[in-house]
Amino acid sequence: MRALAEFIMAGRVQAAVVVLLGSWLPLISPAAVALITLRRGAGDGALILLWALLPPLSGFFVGNVGPLMPYVSLGGLLTVYGAALVLRQSLSWGHCLTAVVALSCLTVLSAAWLMPDMAQQMLALFREILASLMAGQEELALSNVFVTGWLGSMTAVAGVLALLLARWWQALLYNPGGFQAEFHQLRLDPAQALVSLAATMYCLVQGGDYLTWLGVFAVPLWLAGVALVHFSVRVRQLGWPVLVVFYPLVVMLNPLSLTLLLLLAFSDTWMNFRARLKPKGSE
């Protein structure tokens, strides 16, 4: 991965090649755009972004997927670019994650508004898939809320992963160890935590199709919770095997595990657990 990051930063031509070819691989293209933006600023980032936009733009004219998915792909790249600018200027992951949430919502809601027919086609596709998976069971009633929430969650989660990869690349090349230190201190301010929790609770109370929006609104708190777990493991010198066990447990115990992470991060906003944790052997 270091070699790829070095190749991206070697010049504009190399970066353009990566974002064009990387469009066929998950995260590579948006992460490359974010890396250039984080390191060199808005101008160079925008130039590489233009190259990265070519594959999804071609989707409007080539293929049979319709314009909705290319539009969402465009929105995903713009989301990563905008959030990378916020992270570069503010040096705050809380602000960056807030930008990801806002831009992801803007992307999918504008797509549903501009292309209602395409949204309906995707909704029909989801119904067919679920009908085949739930043969003989009562058919679920899905709405546009389901489609927009699902696309928004994909945009937000993929955007956050691309930004994490880009920031890790940047630290790998220019600030060894800096990514770990920065990630371990990820903590939302009260306003960010309250908005994230309120939006998450609203989706939970509404239930049904609104649950697909959890992947958008809960992302800041989930990531802050993961960061606190990583910090605790390092301070207490528990070792990497704990994290190897942690991630499968998060998946297997979902939604309980994600709920606990959310509550942990929300509490940390006011209680600052990091200040209370002492290194192993210092008690």
**Same-domain check for residues 79 and 64:** yes
The verdict on 223 and 273 lying in the same domain is: yes
Given 154, 184, 214, the domain boundary residue is: 184
Q: Which domain holds residue 227?
A: 187-283
Of 193, 271, 266, 182, the C-alpha closest to 231 is 182
User: Looking at the predicted structure, is the pLDDT value of residue 282 above 60?
Assistant: no
Confidence of residue 205 (pLDDT cuts 50, 70, 90): very high
* Confidence at residue 112, expressed as pLDDT on a 0 to 100 scale: 81
pLDDT of residue 60: 74
Please give the Cα distance from 263 to 274 (Å, whole number).
15
Q: Which amino acid is at 77?
A: L
pTM of the model: 0.91
CB 106 within 8 A of CB 113: no
Tell me, what's the pLDDT at 130? 66
- Selected residue with higher pLDDT from 121 and 8: 8
pLDDT over 90 (residue 222): yes
Q: For the chain, what is the domain count? A: 2
Domain boundary among 184, 214, 233: 184
Q: How confident is the model at residue 260 (pLDDT cuts 50, 70, 90)?
A: very high
Reference 100, options 220, 199, 200, 226; nearest CA is 220
171 and 235 in a single domain? The answer is no
- Co-location of 154 and 198 in the same domain: no
Q: Looking at the structure, tell me whether residues 261 and 172 fall in a common domain.
A: no
pLDDT in tens, 94-114: 999 999 999 999 998 888 888
Q: Establish if 159 belongs to a structural domain.
A: yes
Instruction: For 182-195, write each residue's pLDDT tens digit.
Output: 999 999 999 999 99
> Is residue 132 domain-resident?
no
CA dist list (Å): 245 to 171, 180, 239, 279 = 26, 19, 11, 21
| Residues 57 and 83 grouped into a single domain | yes
93 shares its domain with 233: no
How many residues are recorded in the chain? 283
Question: pLDDT for 121-131, tens place per residue?
Answer: 777 777 776 66
- My answer on whether 70 and 206 are in the same domain is no
Give the model's pLDDT for residue 45.
Answer: 97
- Band the pLDDT of 43: cuts 50, 70, 90: very high
Rounded to an integer, what distance in angstroms lies between the CA atom of residue 187 and that of residue 264? 11
88, 170: one domain: yes
- 83 occurs within a structural domain: yes
Question: Which DSSP string do the residues of 261-280 spell out, in sequence order?
Answer: HHHHHHHHHHH-HHHH---T
149 and 265 assigned to the same domain: no
pLDDT at 17 over 80: yes
174 and 216 fall within a common domain: no
Residue 41's pLDDT band, with cuts at 50, 70 and 90, is: very high
> Is 125 a member of any domain?
no
- In the predicted structure, residue 26 carries a pLDDT above the cut 90: no
- Residue in 81, 26, 72 with CA at minimum distance from that of residue 51: 81
Q: Does residue 253 register a pLDDT over 90? A: no
Within a domain: 275: yes
155 and 219 in a common domain: no
> What is the domain-level CATH number for residue 180?
1.10.1760
